[in-house]
Amino acid sequence: MSEAVLEISGVSKRFGDTLANDDISLSLGKGEIVALLGENGAGKTTLMSILFGHYVPDGGAVRVMGRELPPGRPRAAIRAGIGMVHQHFSLAPNLTVLENVMTGTESLWSPASNAAAVRKKLMAISQRFGLKVDPDARLGDLSVGEQQRVEILKALYNDARILVLDEPTAVLTNIEAEKLFSTLKDMARQGLSLIFISHKLDEVMATADRIVVLRGGRLVAERKAAETGKAELAELMVGRAVQRPVREAATPGEVVLEAAGITVRTGGVDRLKAVDFHLRAGEVLGIIGVSGNGQTTLAHLLSGTAQRSAGDLVLFGKGIGDLTVAEAVEAGIGRIPEDRNREGVIGEMAIWENAILERVARFSRRGLVDRKAGMAFARRIIEAFDVRGGGPASRIRLLSGGNMQKLILGRNMIERPRILVAAQPARGLDEGAVAAVHERILEARRAGTAVLLISEDLEEVMALADRIQAIVGGRLSPPVRAEDADARKLGLMMAGEWEREGLAHAV
């Protein structure tokens, strides 16, 4: 490794009874890419928040180019050349790209000459690192991948020499992720030093020079990427060998949900276009597609948060109108939303309040919520689904994203739903947690639950689904049996090629 540009020495941090970081030391060389691995709640984000000044450590020090950073001062970290790209972007959607870059770095009331200078510097950075962007585009009009590009550009505009990325591909498509990591490698070749947090072992192996593993708040291993493998890394993360479950052959039951010619039109646009599908008890139907093709609308329709413009829905043998959220819950439809922060939890509420959020009537007496019953329900979920980071009374915003996801899974699956709508259920989870989530889904399938699995992960869908349909531009392909599917065929389906290719239908 070249001379260290960053040194973290003996850093510890405690939140109440939870020891988030325990005497951690690591370094980063110039032009080096280090991957930070660990289970959900292992202390990765806490450590990076200390590095950036968001948290004050209980012990230890951070040095950049040999100079110690004052703790708890983000501006000092920025001045020292540290830039951070958070998993959940900190940008204003109503401002332009240029205005977002200027916010916090330049006055928005600067004279036109200053704005011109900012634009010139931004475009020079954009060209140098291959991060193409329109400075006058409104941020809210950009794709998720383009918004992330703006976050990176803002950090580079502040002359970052060390770039920290927290779960940088959590909300990106595979193509966007490949482009991102190609860009990061080019940055490293130009002398930037990078740390990225990830749970995805393929991208870690393909991108990192060195890998640091945290477990239970402690640094347990360091490996050169060229000298390790996915199996060893997964075992180091969770402290045991990890093996994903295998779907067994099974005979599905009766049709519990049938959709015919369903169209959903919002904002003058058809989000779903005459889609047909059916779902049987005891089977997993996988919906595969690139983000933004209508799968979110499909999940909302079945969860009671979107209404159809045309078509018929038959639920448990009876034709129905548009579902409300309460009716969907009452009918036994569980949901795992795609965006856990916006649609899954309320950050300022306690874990137990979030646990009963969708079924609050069951935990109420004479109009008052039964706190004791809610707390007991939350404890059941915490124990059964290994939710780490706090007890039932803790604020849910203090949990890592993966542990929030496990709570959402638990509240929907601890009492078996008749239908489970699972949108990106393993997004942001570590390898051990992914295996556990997949096992839970297969357990539900064995118990007779009908599962609609919506995912952008080909490997996940091929491993769990009995039948697979692709969604493209709001249209659904005919279904294919999982046994008849491979990566090439599914790739063609995701590109909308099913009619030309004459793909076989599945029954």
Nearest to 186 by CA among 157, 207, 213: 207
- pLDDT, tens only, 451-492: 999 998 888 999 999 999 999 999 999 999 988 888 888 888
In terms of residues, how long is the chain? 507
Q: Helix, strand, coil proportions of the chain in percent (round to 5)? A: 35, 25, 35
Q: What is the pLDDT along the chain (507 residues), one digit of tens a residue?
A: 567 999 999 999 998 878 899 999 999 999 999 999 988 778 898 999 999 999 999 999 999 999 999 999 999 999 999 998 876 667 888 899 998 888 866 555 555 557 888 889 999 988 888 888 899 998 888 877 788 888 888 888 888 999 998 888 766 666 777 888 888 899 899 999 999 998 788 889 999 999 999 998 999 999 999 999 988 998 898 888 777 888 998 899 999 999 999 999 988 889 999 999 999 999 999 999 877 789 989 999 999 989 999 999 999 999 998 888 888 988 999 999 888 878 889 988 999 999 998 888 889 888 899 999 999 999 999 999 888 878 899 999 888 777 888 899 999 988 889 999 999 898 777 778 888 889 999 999 999 999 999 998 888 999 999 999 999 999 999 999 988 888 888 888 888 877 554 554 443
- Note the pLDDT of residue 254: 96
- Note the pLDDT of residue 6: 95
Pairing of strands 419-423, 333-336: parallel
Please say whether the beta carbons of 219 and 19 come within 8 A.
Answer: no
Please say whether the beta carbons of 201 and 167 come within 8 A.
Answer: no
- pLDDT, tens only, 281-335: 999 999 998 777 899 899 999 999 899 999 999 999 999 988 888 889 889 999 9
Given the candidates 3.40.50.1110, 3.40.50.300, 3.40.50.2300, 3.30.43.10, the CATH classification of the domain at 243-332+417-507 is 3.40.50.300
Residue type present at position 375: M
Compute the distance between CA of residue 349 and CA of residue 80 in angstroms, rounded to an integer: 36
Compute the distance between CA of residue 134 and CA of residue 88 in angstroms, rounded to an integer: 21
Q: Which residues of 107-120 are buried (b: 16+ CB within 10 A; e: fewer)?
A: eeeeeeeebeebbe
Residue type present at position 96: T
Q: List the beta bridge partners of residue 162.
A: 82, 193
- Note the pLDDT of residue 504: 44
Compute the distance between CA of residue 41 and CA of residue 50 in angstroms, rounded to an integer: 15
- Note the pLDDT of residue 211: 96
Phi, psi of 471 (to 5 degrees): -115, 125
Residue type present at position 61: A
State the SS3 of 47-94: HHHHHCCCCCCCEEEEEECCEECCCCCHHHHHHCCEEEECCCCCCCCC
Please say whether the beta carbons of 347 and 394 come within 8 A.
Answer: no
Token pair for 156: 């580079």
In CATH terms, is domain 4-238 a member of 1.10.940.10? no
DSSP 8-state secondary structure symbol assigned to residue 325: H
- Assess whether the region 4-238 and the region 243-332+417-507 belong to the same CATH fold: yes
State the distance between the two ends of the chain, measured CA to CA, in whole angstroms. 57
Kindly list the domain boundaries of the chain, sorted by start residue.
Answer: 4-238, 243-332+417-507, 340-415
Structural element, H or E, at residue 196: strand 193-197
> What pTM does this model have?
0.73
DSSP 8-state secondary structure symbol assigned to residue 350: B
